[in-house]
Structure 1
């Protein structure tokens, strides 16, 4: 029996040293989504203007509407407790997740793994074209964590179904 992977995505203030998570979202096994902005901690000062242009989230909005690291970590642990959760940007997302949980003085109660672990070679060969079709069909206007997670999950599902049809 197929288990649909839970997909998580973090958006960040930029890349490299000093960057921090600004938004997190996931798509659960049944397509249910959850997303929130993350209020920067007092020592999270890094801000990449190119990242801000990509996400269309000004730092002022994060300060005003973002949730505390403690709240976000508690919510992630509540929703994802005991599950393995997948990301397509494992190296970056792992660092941002660690930064979030460190600020919250908490430990994740779920495992973060690389999405490539549950993608077969046949799925991989169809990945980019399938993902482009999913993006076109969903007409996602903004680059946001929960929509990105849902796009990845639907891409996984479609490539998985295609593979099953060919076996």
Structure 2
């Protein structure tokens, strides 16, 4: 079986979501993507803060301990966040149906994506897989090396940086060299309109 990272016709995206809390009633406040295009291409990196909906603010949970980890106060998210419609359109436009999208916390991240897409009344066009699907063909040495690289580089707990951390360590383990990075386009660059 051909390693999933060597499929020339598919992009790989690492997705990460930061949230208002970790318990029931939490909602997404930031989504980040690191797009792996191949061994010699830079990783495309982008993120969107998500402006909470009125319903989320009225009935959702905000955790001070989560805020201490990700460092985003509610005022920042309300002031600088993009609408749920814009964030969903950006994700669907960027990832489409052909990108292999993986996360290291699929249950949590998919729950927050469900909350996001339901709030926008949009359909999610991409499927989220467990990060381990990208490493299932790794040798024992590659698994150990990836674990070592991730251990020595603590997660920053911001969505784009967390996604980039996983993508870059994955590429370094698989292709043997650290990758470069570049910024992903805004949704307007996919033919949509920014809100």
* Shorter-chain TM-score above 0.5: yes
Q: 1:63 aligns with which of 74, 78, 81?
A: 78
Show the counterpart of 2:17.
10
TM-score, normalised by the number of residues in structure 2: 0.75
Query: Does 2:147 align with 1:143?
Result: no
> Hey, what's the Cα distance between the residues in 2 that align with 1:144 and 1:60?
16
Aligned counterpart for 2:27 among listed residues 20, 44, 55: 20
Which has the higher mean CA deviation after the structures are superposed, 36-45 or 98-107? 36-45
Give the superposition deviation at 1:125.
2.5
How big is the alpha-carbon RMSD for the aligned residues of Structure 1 and Structure 2? 1.8
In the TM superposition, residue 43 of structure 1 has moved relative to its aligned partner by 1.7
Is 2:24 the partner of 1:32?
no
Which residue does the alignment assign to 2:92? 77
Q: Structure 2: any 5+ residue segments left out of the alignment?
A: 38-42, 177-195
- Partners of 1:154 and 1:18 in 2: CA distance: 32
Give the Cα separation in 2 of the matches to 1:61 and 1:53: 14
Q: 1:106 aligns with which of 122, 134, 139?
A: 122
Structure 2 Cα separation of the partners of residues 34 and 95 of structure 1: 21
Aligned residue-pair number = 157
**Structure 1 residues 43-62: aligned runs within 5 Å:** 43-44=55-56, 45-62=60-77
Once residues 126 and 16 of structure 1 are traced to their aligned partners in structure 2, the CA distance between those partners, rounded to angstroms, is 33
Greater percentage in helix: 1
* TM-score normalised by L of structure 1: 0.86
